[in-house]
């Protein structure tokens, strides 16, 4: 009999795909009331997710709620299993996905009302939710890859939902193709990992065990880990594959909130969390620098953007960089913590921006103004009086993403920044770039997010005609904002009213882990040092000092031969020792960013135009405004050369190969066919075949005369024949 927990998990997985099928084929029956069906279905999924989440409070971080595999394919000695794996991390992730999906479904019922493809939109949301659930529930890397590609398809469909717009159609293709680049690397990495050890398997638990027990060349394992991480580079929009995410805002705003802010892009981070135990120190170093560069790079671009959704898009890229950075420095639970908090406040930010755009769009529609961009913040201003709930929701979540005390972002982001400081204190050298990038991006984030707040909601309206027609969004759009705003408060995660709480006593840390981890190396001869959990920071420092006297070069030489296992032991005090330093620095840089934004855009003590001209002396403003010309660089070094050589190949194929060679052979063939036709028809058919036919016809005519049907003639002929035969015989 099927286990009840497994039945719940399978129901959770397949309810959204059932909604997809219904909406796609039967959704038109209820027309614009079809959203009720999806809301009920996703509501059931949310209830199941809550039941799993309830157990998180009673499980230890290492407990597994469900782990069940099924054989999917067997051929020869090759077995492929797909299964369900739910631990505390997966249970929390399931709640994040289903909660955001439910709120987006509710929000969309009003935002998308009147759209001619209303039911199709809900079908795509169902397909995406199904795909994302599959990634979270998967117990094998192949199952992750299958649903990984389905998520890519869902993103393509929703980005290009309004495919009649050229921008949307181009953005969907850009997203799909850019992600394919990362996915190719991911596929190669999966194949490399599969051939590790003697017992080939795609199951994540088996892979981790093989890495622990097999003698594996460290370089091989590093390359495999980085290649798998390339899939995350694509999905989580890390450098250099970040270019698709800002353009993905061409899709409907609620879908952007769910797919490109809260859940899908977090799939890359979730994948990296799942493969963390098999990542070598070198792979993690590459991951850390990728995340640091992305966080700083995207935040610089966000400063100069005027499209409200583009600002949030680059903010998403930057925050994902933070998560990847945390994984790279070993604070992988801090990365997951920020994934959860970010999903709440970024979904709210996108839905709040959608509320603004929705109101702007209706106002412009009443004015019959089709030229003004409803997403350009330069057309807004003073909206807090017209849209108080939207304003409050966006303000709370802006405070959260800026790392202000009392809000969730302060807790999760500080855990990441403390991890980067601890990493630098341990390794020194070039790793100083990691905290510099982290704190630098934090400063810029606070600046551009409050720039968004001041330009959109404060000051005087930029256009009085537009302003007077603005109004607050309906309740189905504001209720999700209220709930997500509440979930962006630090109290929800820390269980403490202390604004400077680090969350160490909150449910998240107790149920998932301390959030701070250190990388250790253990080779085939068990060299290296297992650094375990200590009761206080002094113990950690003593333990660390015991190993700091070893010659670093000799230590690495020992590891150059074969590396059997690279993992992290929980070392909470490594980052805890740097917590207060990180917190004070974080508060300083966040306050600095908010202050500068206030002086620039609220009280006008500083002139943005003057500063932009000053920075443009070094072309810094143009670099930020034009997104560092990355798209143009790709266009010049990739797209244009590819199109040029494609054109050359096309001309060679058409003008030379087809028209000269193939067509010449065709002409020769036609000429030979014409001549053979004449030979066949004029000689073979008419002279020989027709000749035999004509002769047979002539003889039949002559012979026919012998058969006149007169009996007397037959008798006379017979007598004559007998007489002739008798005479001939006698002569013989």
Residue of 275, 364, 362 whose CA lies nearest to 324: 275
pLDDT at residue number 119: 92
Which of 179, 147, 176 lies closest to 160 in space, CA to CA?
176
- Categorize the per-residue pLDDT at 535 as very low, low, confident or very high, splitting at 50, 70 and 90: very low
Residue 178: name the closest of 339, 317, 350 by CA.
317
Mean pLDDT for 154-176 is 92
| pLDDT for position 2 | 64
* pLDDT on residue 487: 95
pLDDT reading at 539 higher than 60:
no
- 169-173, 206-210, 260-264: segment of lowest average pLDDT: 260-264
Tokens at 731, concatenated: 């002569």
- Report how far residue 25's alpha carbon sits from residue 23's, in angstroms, rounded to the nearest whole number: 6
**Cis amide prior to 241 (ω within 30 degrees):** no
Residue ranges covered by each domain of the chain: 280-625, 630-697
Integer-rounded Cα Rg, in Å, for the chain is 36
What gap in Å lies between CA 456 and CA 156, rounded to an integer?
30
Tens digits of residue pLDDT in 236-252: 999 999 999 999 888 89
Contact assessment for residue 512 and residue 61, using Cβ atoms and an 8 Å cutoff = yes
pLDDT at 546: 38
DSSP labels for 575-610? Answer: HHTTHHHHHHHHHHHHHHHHHHHHHHHTS--S-HHH
pLDDT of residue 496: 79
Q: How far apart are the first and last CA of the chain?
A: 105
Q: Is the pLDDT of residue 391 over 50?
A: yes
Place of tokens 């949030």: 312
Q: Can you tell me the distance from the alpha carbon of 145 to that of 557, in angstroms, rounded to the nearest whole number?
A: 36
User: Positive or negative CA dihedral for 194, 196, 198, 203?
Assistant: negative
Residue 729 binned pLDDT confidence (cut-offs 50, 70, 90): confident
Q: Residue range 103-116: average pLDDT?
A: 91
Average pLDDT over residues 329-336: 89
pLDDT at 556 over 80: no
Comparing CA positions, the residue from 414, 413, 182, 232 lying closest to residue 319 is 413
| Res. 541: pLDDT tops 60 | no
Mean pLDDT of 494-520: 70
What pLDDT was estimated at residue 323?
Answer: 95
CA neighbours within 13 Å on the CB side: how many for 637?
6
Confidence of residue 1 (pLDDT cuts 50, 70, 90): very low
pLDDT (0 to 100) of residue 336: 93
Confidence of residue 408 (pLDDT cuts 50, 70, 90): very high
49, 12 in Cβ contact below 8 A? yes
Mean pLDDT, range 568-588, rounded to an integer = 71
Contact by Cβ (8 Å): 56, 340 = no
Distance CA(479)–CA(510), nearest Å, equals 30
Residue 674 has pLDDT above 50, yes or no: yes
> Which one of 110-119, 128-137, 598-607, 723-732 scores highest in mean pLDDT?
128-137
Question: Do the beta carbons of residue 69 and residue 235 sit within 8 Å?
Answer: no
Q: Got the DSSP string for 301-358?
A: HHTT--BHHHHHHHHHHHHHHHHHHHHHTT-HHHHHHHHHHHHHHHHHHHHHHHHHHH
Cβ-contact 15, 43 below 8 angstroms:
no
d(CA 208, CA 178): 29
Average pLDDT of span 4-9: 90
Residues 6+ apart with CB under 8 A from 588: none
CA proximity to 270, closest of 407, 413, 401, 151: 151
Strand partners, 203: 140
What gap in Å lies between CA 547 and CA 669, rounded to an integer? 82
Closest by alpha carbon to 575, among 322, 285, 331?
Answer: 331
Contacts of 710 (CB under 8 A, 6+ apart): none
Q: Give the model's confidence band at 511: pLDDT under 50 very low, under 70 low, under 90 confident, else very high.
A: confident
Give the pLDDT score at 552: 37
Q: What is the mean pLDDT of residues 45-51?
A: 95
Where are any strands of DSSP class E within 9-51?
none
pLDDT for residue 561 is more than 80: no
Q: What is the pLDDT of residue 197?
A: 65
Higher pLDDT, 718 or 112: 112
Which H or E element spans position 389?
helix 388-401
Summarised one tens digit per residue, pLDDT across range 361-387 is: 988 888 888 888 899 999 999 999 999
Mean pLDDT of the chain: 85
Please, how many CA atoms are within 13 Å of residue 368, restricted to the half-sphere of its CB?
A: 0
Rounded (10°) CA dihedral 402, 408, 411, 413? -40
Look at residue 560 and tell me whether its pLDDT is greater than 70: no
**What is the structure's pLDDT at 558?**
39
Q: List the structure tokens of 442.
A: 């934090």
């Amino acid at each position: 009999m099927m286990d009840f927990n497994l039945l719940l998990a399978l129901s959770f997985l397949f309810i959204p795909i059932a909604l997809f099928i219904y909406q796609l084929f039967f959704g038109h029956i209820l027309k614009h009331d079809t959203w009720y069906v999806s809301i009920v279905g996703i509501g059931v999924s949310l209830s199941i997710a809550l039941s799993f989440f309830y157990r998180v409070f009673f499980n230890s971080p290492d407990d597994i709620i469900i782990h069940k595999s099924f054989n999917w394919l067997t051929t020869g000695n090759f077995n492929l299993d797909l299964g369900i794996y739910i631990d505390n991390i997966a249970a929390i992730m399931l709640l994040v996905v289903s909660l955001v999906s439910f709120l987006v479904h509710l929000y969309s019922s009003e935002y998308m009302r009147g759209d001619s493809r209303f039911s199709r939109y809900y079908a795509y949301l169902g397909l995406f939710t199904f795909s994302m659930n599959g990634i979270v529930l998967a117990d094998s890397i192949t199952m992750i890859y299958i649903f990984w590609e389905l998520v890519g398809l869902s993103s393509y469909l929703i980005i290009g939902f309004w495919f009649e717009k050229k921008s949307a159609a181009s953005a969907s293709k850009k997203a799909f193709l850019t992600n394919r680049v990362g996915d190719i690397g991911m596929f190669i990495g999966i194949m490399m990992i599969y051939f590790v050890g003697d017992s080939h398997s795609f199951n994540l638990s088996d892979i981790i065990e093989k890495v622990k027990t097999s003698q594996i060349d460290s370089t091989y394992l590093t390359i495999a880990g980085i290649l798998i991480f390339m899939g995350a580079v694509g999905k989580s929009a890390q450098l250099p594959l970040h270019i698709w995410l800002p353009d993905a805002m061409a899709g409907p705003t609620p879908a952007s909130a769910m797919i490109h802010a809260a859940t899908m892009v977090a799939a890359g981070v979730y994948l990296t969390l799942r493969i963390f135990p098999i990542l070598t120190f070198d792979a993690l170093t590459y991951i850390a620098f990728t995340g640091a560069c992305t966080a700083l790079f995207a935040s610089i671009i966000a400063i100069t953007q005027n499209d409200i959704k583009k600002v949030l898009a680059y903010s998403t890229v930057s925050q994902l960089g933070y998560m990847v950075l945390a994984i790279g420095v070993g604070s992988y639970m801090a990365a997951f913590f920020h994934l959860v908090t970010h999903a709440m406040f970024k979904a709210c930010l996108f839905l709040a921006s959608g509320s603004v755009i929705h109101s702007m769009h209706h106002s412009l529609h009443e004015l019959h103004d089709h030229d003004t961009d409803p997403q350009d913040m330069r057309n807004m201003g003073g909206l807090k009086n017209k849209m108080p709930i939207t304003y409050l929701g966006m303000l709370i979540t802006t405070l959260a993403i800026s790392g202000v005390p009392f809000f969730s972002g302060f807790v999760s982001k500080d855990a990441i920044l403390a991890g980067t400081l601890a990493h630098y204190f341990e390794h020194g050298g070039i790793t100083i770039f990691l905290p510099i990038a982290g704190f630098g991006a934090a400063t810029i984030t606070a600046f551009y997010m409050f720039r968004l707040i001041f330009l959109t909601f404060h000051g005087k309206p930029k256009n009085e005609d537009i302003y007077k027609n603005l109004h607050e969004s309906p309740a189905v759009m504001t209720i999700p904002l209220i709930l997500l705003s509440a979930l962006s408060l630090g109290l929800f995660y820390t269980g403490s009213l202390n604004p400077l709480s680090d969350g160490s006593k909150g449910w998240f840390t107790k149920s998932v882990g301390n959030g701070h981890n250190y990388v250790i190396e253990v080779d085939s001869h068990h060299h290296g040092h297992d650094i375990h959990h200590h009761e206080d920071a002094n113990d950690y420092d003593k333990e660390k000092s015991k190993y700091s006297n070893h010659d670093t070069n000799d230590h690495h030489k020992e590891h150059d031969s074969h590396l059997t296992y690279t993992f992290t032991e929980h070392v909470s005090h490594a980052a805890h020792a740097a917590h207060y330093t990180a917190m004070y620095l974080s508060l300083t840089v966040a306050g600095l960013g908010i202050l500068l934004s206030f002086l620039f855009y609220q009280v006008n003590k500083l002139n943005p135009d003057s500063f932009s001209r000053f920075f443009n002396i070094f072309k810094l403003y143009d670099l930020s405004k034009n997104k560092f010309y990355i798209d143009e660089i790709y266009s010049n070094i990739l797209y244009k050369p590819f199109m040029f050589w494609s054109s050359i190949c096309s001309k060679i194929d058409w003008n030379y190969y087809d028209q000269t060679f193939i067509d010449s052979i065709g002409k020769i063939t036609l000429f030979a066919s014409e001549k053979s036709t004449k030979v066949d028809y004029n000689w073979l058919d008419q002279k020989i075949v027709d000749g035999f036919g004509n002769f047979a016809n002539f003889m039949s005519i002559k012979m026919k005369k012998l058969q006149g049907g007169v009996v007397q003639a037959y008798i006379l002929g017979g007598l004559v024949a007998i007489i002739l035969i008798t005479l001939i015989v006698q002569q013989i």
